[in-house]
Chain A
């Protein structure tokens, strides 16, 4: 197998990716790309980021052998890469720290971001508080409604939340509005994108910052199991936690890799967010990748119980990995994810976010009574505190009973 080397200098993963933005943004992206390339060689930057990872985030996150769940599945040995233990409760902080250090180096004085589940918004608001920069978070009004704890968190951290009322009032529309803000305020503003989506260099940059997850997991598993894992499993919305885990293993051809999308009410229904299972290649938010669209190329609204996966697009690198068959992608419904959410809580004493609950559901479904003696690493990329109300409502739990 040829050594994996993506993207190209113009941000292409095979045919996917690229920079499809208006001329108001193009010079900025080229400048961002240049600055990013420069800091990659900057030892001081690396040291600063690693210090923050260690002392502010609490990295490395542990690799936990989920004994009870493994026993329940009666299949492979399951390890959780516990990025839900990070400061702010998800993997999102890894990328935000990298990007805000870059913003500082570029002399930007105002930060904007989009958020779906609120995890990226919280992480952005956190790093803005730490670095003393004003922070504006675009969030769909539907997501504001279902992620109230995170909304309050962001406000406590000093961020201004701008509700987005257009379109489906969720992540896609928040991203449209954030891009508009950026076009309007190009000179002083840095846009911290939270996923491996958007125009080049974001998909590459976010992947690179998140790949600390995979690098650690690789070392950790080699230490305890004396071998590489047989499987990696992670959930995919835009795909940042998954790329973070997958990337350092892409050249290990014996490691099978699985991405789990949110199929909502079913991948074949209209209420889905399973972009790669149900979508076709198209352009959304500046990048060529799989999207949910109709015959005229109008982007469809996605649906998932998990706000973090409720996105009709996916990062271009995932599209590429799907097409070269390096990673296999499957859909998990709201219902299946909710069941896994409860199973994991009961068996492991870990309440997972609804996003990784999709990965858990796939693991339970596909590996039950199978693949014994194999080793699986699952990215537990977020904790479930933010989802308690949504889950309680969906399960039919009444606190007053």
Chain B
């Protein structure tokens, strides 16, 4: 059974966090904290040395996670420990293609098939996805599609054919963690996406506060939000004091659950 098939209709909350950040053991506590709030989705980021589609905050998190040579297998084991079948929260992996290729596609899918519901491969465009999508689909893992403000209607139609899970709409024409949100544009594009697909549309990139979450919900037609950089930023705001970080994370997640 795939948790992503039973997402609520509105106000979906997806939380992103890099595996192994700041350290592998502390990372377990971070995900535990996140899970205790029962968000609709948790996205587990597999650290990559060159995360070119992410902003400086997530890059820093990747760097910290990789300090101790965290392996892909260790990240996958971490996700496994949280045992998704015990939760209603959907589990999604977010990663770069080189990580999957080097691990071996078949081995990778075998490893993740019972531990996650979906996967976002940031640098795998529609043009290259065929073989991977087929293997994922055989194992009931949804390949989550990204749509950007630069994706025109014709291309969106191609991309969104048979889409499953949810659609990740990249709100700002910017990388994760940038700060401008154009609600009018978001609303226009989300509406257009919703005409092409029936799965929920989540808005990500640049969502930083309770106000952003409420605004997205009120001013646009989106079904929910994805928050990532803002969760990691707290760690640096608090001068890397881990116990304080857990507390501030708790407070922040409570706030953004609307």
- Residues of chain A having any CB pair with chain B under 8 Å: 10, 18-24, 26-28, 166-167, 172, 176, 179-180, 183-187, 282-286, 293, 295-299
Contact = CB atoms under 8 A, between A and B. Distances in A.
B49 interface: yes
Contacts, number: 111
Contacts of B151: 23, 26-27
Contacts of A10: 127
B146 interface: yes
A332 B173 CA distance: 43
Interface of B: 48-50, 52-53, 55-56, 59, 63, 66, 71-72, 96-99, 101-103, 122-128, 145-148, 150-152, 155, 159, 170, 173-175, 178
A68 B152 CA distance: 60
Given A27-B150, A167-B49, A297 B126 contact: no
A28 B150 contact: yes
B101 A283 contact: yes
Nearest to A282: B98
Contacts of B122: 22
Contacts of B101: 282-283, 297
B123 A299 contact: no
B72 A296 contact: yes
Given A297-B102, A299-B50, 14 more contacts: A20-B125, A20-B128, A22-B53, A23-B145, A23-B150, A23-B159, A24-B150, A27-B155, A167-B63, A184-B174, A185-B173, A186-B150, A285-B52, A296-B103
Contacts of B125: 19-23, 26
Contact of A23 (B97, B98, B147, B175): B147
A299 to B, nearest CB: 5
B52 A180 contact: yes
Contacts of A298: 48-49, 66
Contact of A22 (B98, B123, B127): B123
Contact of B175 (A167, A172, A184): A184
Nearest to A281: B101
A149 to B, nearest CB: 29
Given A27-B148, A180-B55, A184-B174, A20 B97 contact: yes
B211 to A, nearest CB: 22
A195 to B, nearest CB: 16
Contacts of B152: 27
Contacts of A187: 173
10 contacts: A18-B128, A22-B123, A23-B150, A24-B170, A28-B150, A183-B53, A184-B173, A286-B52, A296-B72, A299-B50
B175 A180 contact: yes
